[in-house]
Amino acid sequence: MTGGSIDGHALALVLFVAFVSVSLLLCGLAAADSDDPEQFYTGSATARPAASGLAVAGDYISVATLLSTTGSVALVGYDGILFAFATVLSLTLLAVVLAKPLRGRNRFTLGDLLSQRLGGRQVRVAMGVAVLVTVLPLLVVQLAAAGEIMTVMLDLPEDALTGCTIATGALMVCFAASGGMRGTGYVQILKTVVLVAAVLLLAGLVLDRFGWNPFSLWDAAADGSGQGAAYGTPGLQFGDSAAGTLDLIGFHLTLALGAACMPHVMMRLHPMRPGRHVRATMGWAVGAVAVVCAGIVVVGLGAAALVGAEVLRAADPAGGTALLIVTAALDPGVAPAHSVLFAFVAIAVFATTLAAVAGIAVAAAASLAHDLAPAARRRDRAAGLPETGRARRAVLAVGAVAVLLSVLAQHRNPQILFSFTFAVAASAVAPVVILTLFWPGTTARGVRWALYGTPVLTAVLMALSPATSGIPTALFPDRDFHVFPLQTPGLITVPVGFALCVLGSRWRPRRGDGPGGDPGHWAAAQRPAAESGNRP
């Protein structure tokens, strides 16, 4: 493909304006019903399975899936392909194990789930805090990435990065505040369609370069990586030492559990109808994610074969720019700013990032307005005011904080924030949700122990790990103060999360603390909703 008579820069502007305009229109259409908390927080329960599935896939596919996995495949081969496979496996886990139990009427957040099961306000607050700790780092990183993509896509100077990040944050607030989860669902569907088209186009162009022979592509990728036969064996990402093997196992455990238990993805499941609707919806979601991940593997191999690992690492030691670099290589003789192919792929990446941050912002605002402000909820209910007004103000507050942190985090490797997000989701949110749904012995005390204790342990271990210092992809690559050997602490923090929840649930303090030694014991779920204070 060549630029021809069509200027890629002009096309990028047109596609950018078109995507933003259509997205705002869709959110505006959804705003008509968004004063209903159920519509604002969870979206429509009447959507067809295909639409619901594509929306779930859109929430699930983040910029990390798109850019980081492409770079991992290009640089470390076998390990990167395993990462792509684990991404699909994680959504399959969500579809098979958690999708049906997560459904529920008048259930808007994970705090509602805990409150309905365990009763009491403390578990709702604990989950609200855990959700903010989980999603805010991911929101910061995706906003920063969206700002960078906008500068590249519109061919703006580097000093425009801050302005682009702020503009992206403003768009995020508009999408999330006007349309809520229903409006962002429409945007996610649009994003998924555009992304699947872009990834399939790139994968087709890569395979065409090698005569549609995947074995020729693999051989060329192994040569371009500089790793030779090791490109097809595990161990390149974290090393083949004992610590590297443990790191690889911990990474996959964290990715499988963490991606499946992301709060903004699980919120999408609450309003689904039972039976075949859930199965069909998750089938569409898993299918769309599988297509994207398969395309990412092909594109990552193409990046290694056509560009080479040396060039990719020079641009970004973690390979985060591999997708855009190989896109430029597939349109030779045309500068990226004037390449039609580059413009289309760049807008797909931008759409992926912007849609993801809008959904995350709604999840964060829901926890802030619905779970962490019970007194304000009661005042609004007594005054007859809609809860969605407070939720929209929460979106604005979350957006302002995220934009500020994104600007401060510019030019830093975001990998540690991604790792922290997935580690907290896998180590705190996943154990609490799984045990609450499937173990009747779960109590409010056990939930609080896991939700408060595990994120602190995760933060400490990551601060002392190579992800923070000591390696080229660390947050501080020029310093080395790590004492914990694993880059991903999931192998320790995930079991600790389950253990804290179980031990806290079995803890029997002095008499007079409530049924079963815990005011939030499972038996509290038998109380009327009004008495338990868990009416959404």
Quick one: angle between helices 8-31 and 340-366, nearest 10? 30
> What average pLDDT does this structure show over 44-69?
85
Most confidently predicted of 51-60, 179-188, 248-257, 491-500: 491-500
> What average pLDDT does this structure show over 500-513?
78
Confidence of residue 525 (pLDDT cuts 50, 70, 90): very low
Confidence of residue 2 (pLDDT cuts 50, 70, 90): very low
Quote the CA–CA distance of 434 and 390 in Å, as a whole number: 30
**What is the pLDDT of the chain when averaged over all its residues?**
85
**Distance set, CA 110 to CA 82, 126, 426 (Å):** 30, 10, 15
Contact 130, 451 (CB under 8 A): yes
Quote the CA–CA distance of 498 and 388 in Å, as a whole number: 34
Closest CA to 345 of 201, 192, 206, 156: 201
Quick one: angle between helices 340-366 and 322-329, nearest 10? 160
Quote the CA–CA distance of 302 and 205 in Å, as a whole number: 9
Q: Is the pLDDT of residue 382 over 60?
A: no
Confidence of residue 331 (pLDDT cuts 50, 70, 90): confident
Quote the CA–CA distance of 201 and 206 in Å, as a whole number: 9
Residues 6 or more apart in contact with residue 470 via CB below 8 angstroms: 479, 480, 481, 482
Q: Is the pLDDT of residue 5 over 70?
A: no
**Distance set, CA 327 to CA 152, 198, 202, 335, 354 (Å):** 13, 10, 7, 11, 20
pLDDT of residue 524: 43
pLDDT of residue 463: 93
Rg (CA), the chain: 23
Q: Is the pLDDT of residue 105 over 70?
A: no
Task: Report residue 20 CA to chain centroid gap.
Answer: 21
Q: What is the per-residue pLDDT across 269-297, written as a single tens digit (0 to 9) for each?
A: 877 777 778 888 899 999 999 999 999 99
Q: What is the per-residue pLDDT across 113-163, written as a single tens digit (0 to 9) for each?
A: 888 888 778 899 999 999 999 999 999 988 888 888 888 888 788 888 899
Q: What is the per-residue pLDDT across 247-258, written as a single tens digit (0 to 9) for each?
A: 999 999 999 999
Q: What is the pTM of this model?
A: 0.87
Closest CA to 357 of 172, 95, 122: 172
> What average pLDDT does this structure show over 467-472?
86
pLDDT of residue 79: 92
Helix (H, G, I), strand (E, B) or coil at 385: coil
More confident residue, 40 or 344: 344
Q: Is the pLDDT of residue 536 over 50?
A: no
pLDDT of residue 375: 61
> What average pLDDT does this structure show over 487-501?
95
Quote the CA–CA distance of 153 and 336 in Å, as a whole number: 9
